[in-house]
């Protein structure tokens, strides 16, 4: 069964990813500072959506990479990425 997720805007102006038709704690929440909100005008929703979609793509890629790895590669220590 495929799970369906939705991006919602909360009453506090945050954007959250959660499972559809549930009131569970969101999986991810993105908030923008007042300075960022002013800079982005009405674009915060599109930016939040893009950020969440990028995260989902990255998780999918990591899962696919993990499935392709053999046991010896899985035992290697992950090194943090600094941005």
pLDDT digits (tens, 9 = 90+) for 7-62: 999 999 999 999 998 888 999 999 999 999 999 998 999 999 999 999 999 998 99
- pLDDT of 73 over the 90 cut: no
- pLDDT of 2 over the 60 cut: yes
SS3 80: coil
Which of the four pLDDT bands, split at 50, 70 and 90, describes residue 3? confident
- From the list 47, 24, 22, the residue with the least C-alpha distance to 37 is 47
pLDDT at 79: 64
Rounded to an integer, the average pLDDT of 63-71 is 71
């Amino acid at each position: 069964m495929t799970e369906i997720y939705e991006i919602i805007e909360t009453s506090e102006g945050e954007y959250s990813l959660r499972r559809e038709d549930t009131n569970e704690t969101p999986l991810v929440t993105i908030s923008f500072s007042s300075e960022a909100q002013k800079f982005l005008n009405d674009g915060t929703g599109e930016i939040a959506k893009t950020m969440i979609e990028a995260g989902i793509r990255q998780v999918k890629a990591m899962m696919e990479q993990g499935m392709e790895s053999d046991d010896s590669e899985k035992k290697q220590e992950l090194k943090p990425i600094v941005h």
